[in-house]
Structure 1
């Protein structure tokens, strides 16, 4: 049930499309205010109409009545914003926000936070560089069909905290940022007090919970409410079930949600280059249908197919170009590829084989030949004029150097990528409605989601062309539009930038996953350079920053030189790169032909050459003249030749895709760093339920003799287990797992790990040969998780005896231990290093272990 509710919870966030006023207030008592005055800076500024975010000199506060309370009222879209005050107009004069009332960013900088819902917010006056009492509301929505209007909280705290009247159910929205079913919001209070409150499923009091008498206190109207004593500097409410006095029972096997795409392996297809069914030299829908059995024949018992369970089609809508990223009709197929009926036949055949299909959706720009644009360009007074971005002058900016502005009919239009692809104006409600309509059209056809091109560039603010708040708001609207048609529709974003800058795109109900470019580059560099150090760092970073498993892994795609060229056509290195990303967390995407060593560098057309099916005429791609000349290496590197060679790159891909498809731990297990005794070996573990898969990869060019592998702590039950190496099927010895789920210096009985070889060990899927006596499990819930502060440990029921709690870091070091009575315990994590911990609670013979993420 929790998994279903988390899918429903993805429908939240519609309040972000509204706008409301927010009044920032700061108490400057005791401060010497300079002639430059007092300012506020944050990520709200561009949304409020200022030139850029985080500018300390543009958003001034005033103190009209001389009471030392400086303030400013602005209108912003509903959402969450970070900010801080500046005593002056330059960053050296900015306040240092204490950690107790701020949020630390990835660089360790601490900012204040405000939540803006559907009503005006007037914040209490906070001392400059000081704190007011903080109160975090939490509710567990497990078992609830969460309203598309979101979850809110109401109570008598609202007037004091500046969130309207006590019963305004639109004012303070809660969010489930980490997807664990627990919704929360944090506010500042002017003074400590006891407050009454209750939660609302929706944005009207009709959706308010009925608080049971066992934990309810009547308010002035006789309505039963919850009560919180907010008398400390930091206060939190227990995350009890909506409408209940207890924590939700039944902790899941993992403390994070997974979705259908976590079970998938995707294959990226450029339709024009995959297979030509009619001899015109261009790939088509009918050709893809004919080749589906190569990808997945629908029979799990066979081993001749690749094992693909998802397909991403590069643009297949009507377009004048070979690549299709300049669309002329968002509701038509590209005529070169076939009719709508042929596309629907392909889609049905893929689904029959258990293959999901997502398609490229190009939202940033259209073709300059699209009727919308030709009409927009025809006259400044045309209905479609504001569907694009026009200026009387060349404004001179663009994301790729030089100007993105292009002259036409006396004015300039913005086309960030090319003059043939004018940017759409996402500030225009009519354009937005047309694009949402197009996106719903294909979902109703049955596609399973979208790969979204160039998501960083949707909305420009001033001269800021990428990553604007307005762009993120559009993606939140898109999320609601897609999920309203199909709650399980997948959105995959191309946010081509560094990992930390990608993270906002997978937060706050925007995109489901994004491509992880930095990780792909790190894999290739590690294999090329023979050192795993940077890859290990990047892998840890990715798994710390993203929601669990929610990112796309790959080596290269259609915009990059093919990976086989990047690895100098070295097949052992190519095999190892594939083994790494197919065993790592995330959702893997293969680029067509990668599995047979296709090459391609330079011009984009050369990276998208016809698929190499055979060593015969025209590589088996077409009976006619291919639209682009074939790769020179097709005679050796092709499907037919490699399928006949048990040691080929193609059969290596089949092996590792098969291992992933067969292993829940490889598809949706959490990640643990492991250590190896040999420097060239990178090792990591994946754990799901009672199974661990341990990976050891030697990225060097020399063999490593008997590397010893260690994992400090996990949720794997204690015991002695047989170990099987899954690639070869060989027995590899036994390993004894400690009470903390770890083991030290496991040395496989396989001898040397060859150069560029990867071992994949299965531990724990079978019954262990011996089990350490003890420990029937009992339900333990940690909330919030992840956390940046206090954590509640909630048991399903209060044990008769006192319970012991122990916390271990990833090295297995005990960082905290105590005993407590009852069903709950408050664990304070402030001062702990950011990272993953394991919390073990034992009462008598019963024991429970859960992962806890702190400060990430």
Structure 2
């Protein structure tokens, strides 16, 4: 008998007592600077019409799930018409992919989300279009076509040394960036693949087209902001100053329409490369957080992540004090977090505890809250959400046969809600704790400088009159040590961590948050 059938007989009412520390403390919305954003791949989220593909009306039906989880905003992976399942190659920037519904559906969903105080951020893919986009179809017709300079073209003899050059970066391992449309003479540039030709941002007409697209979604549709895909590649890597200048210009144009527009950029690189983008993109994804978190578990070196995060925050602070650190523990491009953590339930629960106890504006990838699984290729990291046991799950998408997140190994949400120790209830608990304690959401990060066992991570989070001391044990071995004597109260405990007479006991993968 499958494990969720045992769980279904449970009638436990989950009381989030560790969060309700005071009747005077209320849940707050700290978005965008420290709020929580939930990433959704609509295709796999909820199918409202039975065609096997998740859709916008399905999202509208499940907005309460986002609210119950404690998230403040939704980031939608691409929603525009595209020939691919992932839709990162757009053919029409001012419409909704027909599989997902209509623009009217989207506007209704957006209105419902705003009524629930949920912001909406959409993926805006402007580094490249689809090779099926009308602009590119015109562009490849000839050198005299009005759309020719919307893309980057070169004659074969001028780029002969580069045609077969293999370029490997952190976000691409493609063999070639120059592509032949079929005539063997003129080649076009596509950093990722041939089906995604790069736009030519040296052309002022292209820049104005992009600004008009942004205005449309902000003014006519009403979204709250954009996630900017491949933000580092607007211009080639050897022109970083041009990239920085473009994003400043983009931000200036968008703020003319919406003064508080939210812009988060994907700049996948080390902090020295990322930081100069902050004036144009005030929120940037912190890839170092994700990878250092996993490295900390592999090496059982707790302070590795805390020191890395402190280093990044201090570095960005020297650029601007208005930056938003978009932290994440997983997303649609990396293996599911549970797979990366050896499918260890304690590690998964602790990882989200670490994410929520550190500074930043955390992103959560759909399905992590129920322990979904998935490895490369990317399709298997984006498998359908399990809402209920298969016999009852009328909204489960079926566009792909799940290889990893199946009923045999993943307990559906409906069952997890009745389980006091489920992933979902742990996620909800720790998110609520963060939203009720300003020091966790908004506080500074100060590293613990005392003696500490190597697998332990310890730091302070201080905001106004609230001072917290956070400790995590990233190993299978129990850790014990003496804490600063002024921290006497337990705000939160996970994994049977305990405090007695100034001594903390941390069993395997346990965490504790103390307050004065």
Q: What is the TM-score when the length of structure 1 is the normalising length?
A: 0.53
Give CA-to-partner distance per residue, 1:368-404, whole Å, 9 cap, x none: 0100000001111010000000001143355535320
Match of residue 575, structure 1, among 327, 334, 349? 349
TM-aligned CA distance change 1:315 to 1:626, over 3 Å:
same
Q: 659, 669, 689: which is aligned to 2:464?
A: 689
Higher relative strand content? 1
Shift of residue 467, structure 1, vs aligned partner: 5.8
1:58-137 maps to which residues of 2 (within 5 A)?
none
Q: Is the 8 A contact 2:122 2:225 kept in 1?
A: yes
The answer to whether the aligner puts 1:348 opposite 2:106 as a matched pair is no
Give the deviation of 1:751 after TM superposition.
5.2
**Equivalent residues in 2 for 1:421-440, closer than 5 Å:** 421-440=196-215
Aligned to 2:187: 412
Task: Give CA deviations for 1:236-273 in whole Å, capped at 9, x if unaligned.
Answer: xxxxxxxxxxxxxxxxxxxxxx9841241111000100
Residue 584 of structure 1: CA displacement? 0.7
Query: Measured at CA, do residues 584 and 620 of structure 1 come closer, stay the same or move farther in structure 2, by a change above 3 Å?
Result: farther
Aligned 1:451-530 pairs, distance under 5 A: 451-460=227-236, 465=237, 468-506=240-278, 509-530=279-300
Is 1:626 the counterpart of 2:387 in the alignment?
Answer: no
**1:280-299 equivalence runs, <5 A:** 280-296=51-67
Q: Deviations over 1:28-73 (max 9, x none)?
A: xxxxxxxxxxxxxxxxxxxxxxxxxxxxxxxxxxxxxxxxxxxxxx
SS of the counterpart of 2:350?
A: helix
1:367 alignment partner, SS class? coil
State the partner residue of 1:820: none
Task: State the shift of 1:535 in Å.
Answer: 1.8
The equivalent position to 1:278 in structure 2, one of 43, 49, 53, is 49
| 1:11-22 superposed matches below 5 A | none
Task: Indicate if the aligned counterparts of 2:34 and 2:360 stay in contact, CA closer than 8 A.
Answer: no
Q: Report deviation, 1:620.
A: 5.0
SS at match of 2:94: strand
Structure 2: unaligned runs, 5 residues or longer: 1-28
Q: Is 1:535 paired with 2:308? A: no
Query: Aligned pair in 2 of structure 1 residues 442, 628: CA closer, same or farther (>3 Å)?
Result: farther
Structure 1 contact 683–709 (Cα < 8 Å) conserved: no
Kindly provide the CA deviation profile for residues 673-705 of structure 1, in whole angstroms up to 9, marking residues without a partner as x: 124543121111111111122211011112223
Per-residue CA deviation, residues 538-594 of structure 1 (Å, 9 max, x unaligned), is 122112112356211111211111111111110001111111111111110011101
- Aligned 8 A contact 2:373 2:381 in 1: yes
- Match runs of 1:132-281 below 5 Å: 260-281=31-52
Q: Would you say 1:364 and 2:127 are equivalent positions? A: yes
Deviation at 1:505, TM superposition (A): 1.3
8 A Cα contact 2:473 2:511, kept in partner: yes
SS in 2 for 1:262: coil
Choose 693-702 or 370-379, whichever is displaced more. Answer: 693-702
Structural mapping, 1:646-661, within 5 Å = 646-661=420-435
In 2, Cα distance between equivalents of 1:699 and 1:534: 11
Q: Report the secondary structure of 1:693's partner residue.
A: strand
User: 1:411–1:583: structure 2 CA closer, same or farther, 3 Å change rule?
Assistant: same
Q: CA shift at 1:630, angstroms? A: 5.5
Q: Distance in 2 between matches of 1:628 and 1:334?
A: 22
> How many Å separate the matches in 2 of 1:403 and 1:570?
39
Q: Which whole-Å CA distance do the structure 2 matches of 1:277 and 1:466 have between them?
A: 46
Paired residue for 1:89?
none
Which is helix-richer, 1 or 2?
Answer: 2
In structure 2, relative to structure 1, the CA distance for the partners of 1:483 and 1:259 (3 Å cut) is: farther
Larger Rg: 1
Conserved? CA contact 2:488–2:502, under 8 Å? no
Shift in Å, 1:528: 3.4
Q: In structure 2, do the counterparts of structure 1 residues 609 and 626 end up closer, same or farther at CA, with 3 Å as the change threshold?
A: same
Aligned equivalents of 1:685 and 1:475: distance in 2? 35
Identify if the C-alpha distance between structure 1 residues 321 and 626 changes in structure 2 by more than 3 Å, giving closer, same or farther. closer
Distance 1:259 1:404 in 2: 41
- Check conservation: 2:82, 2:91, Cα contact below 8 A: yes
Q: What is the Cα-based RMSD across aligned positions, in Å? A: 2.3
- Whole-angstrom CA distance in 2 between matches of 1:560 and 1:577: 15
Q: Which has the higher contact order (CA 8 A, sep 6+)?
A: 2
| SS of equivalent to 1:332 | coil
**Cα pair distance change 1:703/1:721, threshold 3 Å:** closer
Structure 1 residue 466, shift from structure 2 partner: 5.7
My pick for the range that moved more, 400-409 or 582-591, is 400-409
Identify the residue that residue 492 of structure 2 maps to in structure 1: 726
Partner of 2:7: none
1:201-243 deviation digits (Å, cap 9, x = unpaired): xxxxxxxxxxxxxxxxxxxxxxxxxxxxxxxxxxxxxxxxxxx
The 1:751/1:551 distance shift into structure 2, 3 A limit, reads: closer
Counterparts of 2:501 and 2:72, CA distance in 1: 32
Deviation, 1:625, is 3.9
SS of residue paired to 1:760: strand
SS of alignment partner, residue 492 of structure 1 = strand
C-alpha distance 661-339 of structure 1, shift in aligned 2 (>3 A): same
CA spacing shift, 1:467–1:604, aligned 2, 3 Å:
farther
**1:158-204 Cα deviation digits (max 9, x unpaired):** xxxxxxxxxxxxxxxxxxxxxxxxxxxxxxxxxxxxxxxxxxxxxxx
Aligned residues: 468
